[in-house]
Amino acid sequence: MKRGRPNLRNAAKTAILQSLEKSQVPMTTSTIRSTVAKEVNQNISWNTIQKYLNELIQTNKINAITLPHSKIPNKTGLTVYSLKK
């Protein structure tokens, strides 16, 4: 049996999945970062959360939805994330 504290990768990934499960709407990377930081009780950078989100997309656990830009036509805007159903 492993001892010691769990590594940040597993704790952050489970916190990401739990926060997306609780949310009724898709979430941005910044929103996910703030909820995960509260759950893990650590300050986690935006880039780290983005890296874990990309890993979860590759394992087909979450969807990335790219929204259109609000003011410039034919340009992409924010990317939001939601659980796969």
Residues 8-66 have pLDDT tens digits of: 889 999 999 999 999 989 999 999 999 999 998 889 999 999 999 999 999 999 999 99
How much is the pLDDT for 69? 86
| Encoded amino acid at 8, one letter | L
Neighbours of 23 (CB within 10 A): 15
CATH numbers and ranges of domains, the chain: 8-83 (1.10.10.10)
- pLDDT at residue 1 tops 70: no
* Per-residue H/E/C for the chain: CCCCCCCHHHHHHHHHHHHHHHCCCCECHHHHHHHHHHHHCCCCCHHHHHHHHHHHHHCCCEEEEEEECCCCCCCEEEEEEEECC
pTM: 0.86
Distances (CA, A) of 70 to 20, 23, 31, 64, 77: 24, 23, 19, 18, 7
- pLDDT at residue 3 tops 90: no
